[in-house]
Every structure is written in structure tokens, then in C-alpha cells.
Amino acid sequence: MDDYKKILKIDGDNTKEYFLKSVYEKTQQQLFLEKLLKNENHEKNYKIADVACGGGGLSYHLKNDVFPNAEFHLFDYLDDAIELAKQVNKENDFNYYIDNIYDMKQASNFFDYVFCWQTLSWLDNPKQALSELVRIAKSGGKIFASSLFNLDHDVDIYAKVLDHTKESSKDDIFGNYNTYSLYTIKNWLKGMVANFKIIPFNMDIDLMQNSRGIGTYTKKVTDSSERVQISGGMLMNWGILVITK
């Protein structure tokens, strides 16, 4: 966690730009998530947690377009992220917390929905983080987590990344880019939840490569309309983990 925090702090301008990008324009994952939520009761006064909220873009769109009556609680362990999330959502009466995903202060069995977006793959201890997401959800509540998953092989891939296009690379601070197998997720959640599934996220638009550093772009598979997602030369098997506690 400390190295990841250092990366975000050192690469402050890039971090802020990355966070705000998802506010100005919905990402493809945001649009995909909203499709997954289309059959939920949008009018109820749900309690919603946005864990590792970054700049608050996910909650911004969910409040405006999906759950207008919900009570939102945004968590991040980076104080700069919380301040940015407050600015982004200044028109909304949200609750904000500087907190650690491995040991959250939040009471157990509290939230109807828990969202954790593009975070588990960057962590040193994703099992503990996932356990916390489940703990704070109500019985029967739902958890949605976007991450990199391996559905075709019982293989986890733990990768260390040094992006030489970022200022943080000068201090040799490595980040994680991990992919977790379905086998592992089953073991992590065993006995903790009612059910779960991992829904593959396949990009249906072309994304151009616009840098030599980390940043997702797509390549079409030969003789197919399918696209693979690549970042920094690595295959990105994005998926949405949907859990019912």
C-alpha cells in the first residue's frame, strides 16, 4: 500500500487527470456496470459504499443516473483523492472517509451495495481487501469489484510494474498489476458469501495506444470482431466480480 501511495503522490498531476477523466466522460466499464444494474430498484434509499473511490467519478455517475435516492459513503486512503472527490461531488451530500481497505473502521453488515473499482489488482493483499468488502456488506447485499481475472486457467499472475514514463520511476517504485484466477477467488470467498460470478468485460470500441507507458488500448483479433485489451504490453483480462453476501 505504501509504494502505491507514493506512486500516486509523486505522479500527482497524472493521478488527478486520471481520476477526473472518468468524471468528464463515462468509461466503458462505467457504462457496462450501469447495464448490470439496470434491473435493480433505482428508487430505494440504499446505503452504498464506494471503496477506493479515487476522485469520486463512480459515485458521481451512480448518484446522477442510477441511484438518485441512495446514501453514498466514499472511502480512500489517499487524502488528496478524498479532497478531489469532495470537489467533484460538491452538489451531492456524500459521506467521506480516509480509510485503509485492509482494516476499515466501518461497521460490519451495513451496506446494501459495495463498489470497488479497478483496485484489487494493484494490492499486495487482495484476499484481505476482498474480505473487508464482504464484511461491510449486509446479508443479501451485493458487492461489485472490477479487477483483472483469469477465467481460462487456474493460474494467478503477480506482476511488478515500473512505468518509465512516470516521475515515480526515478525512485524505482514498483506497482502491482495482478491477475487472479477463478480458482483463487472461489477459495477466498469460500464460506463467506451466498454466491458470486465473474462477468468478463470485453471492449466493443477501439482504443488507440497514446503513450509508451501504462494505459489501455485495444487490438482486434485476426479474422474476428473481438478485441483484446493491452496496457504497457500486458494482456488486460478485465472482469466484474459480482457477489451476493
- Supply the CATH number for residue 6's domain: 3.40.50.150
Q: Are 153 and 122 in contact (CB under 8 A)?
A: no
Spatial distance between the Cα atoms of 201 and 197, rounded to a whole number of angstroms: 13
Task: Read off the C-alpha cell for 174.
Answer: 514498483
Q: If pLDDT is split at 50, 70 and 90, which confidence band does 3 have?
A: confident
Does residue 97 carry a pLDDT above 90?
A: yes
How many domains would you assign to the chain? Answer: 1
Provide the residue type at 22 as one letter: S
pLDDT value of residue 17: 79
Average pLDDT in the chain: 93
**Mean pLDDT, residues 41-47:** 96
Enclosing domain of residue 64: 2-244
Residue 241 to residues 35, 151, 191, 225, 238: CA-CA distances in angstroms? 14, 12, 17, 25, 10
pLDDT value of residue 24: 85
Spatial distance between the Cα atoms of 130 and 185, rounded to a whole number of angstroms: 9
Q: Are 216 and 209 in contact (CB under 8 A)?
A: no
Spatial distance between the Cα atoms of 134 and 5, rounded to a whole number of angstroms: 24
Provide the residue type at 234 as one letter: M
Per DSSP, what are the bridge partners of residue 175?
A: 161
Which of residues 25 and 2 earns the better pLDDT score? 25
Does residue 1 carry a pLDDT above 60?
A: no
Task: Read off the C-alpha cell for 241.
Answer: 466480480
**Mean pLDDT, residues 225-234:** 93
Say if strands 71-76 and 95-98 run parallel, antiparallel, or are unpaired: parallel
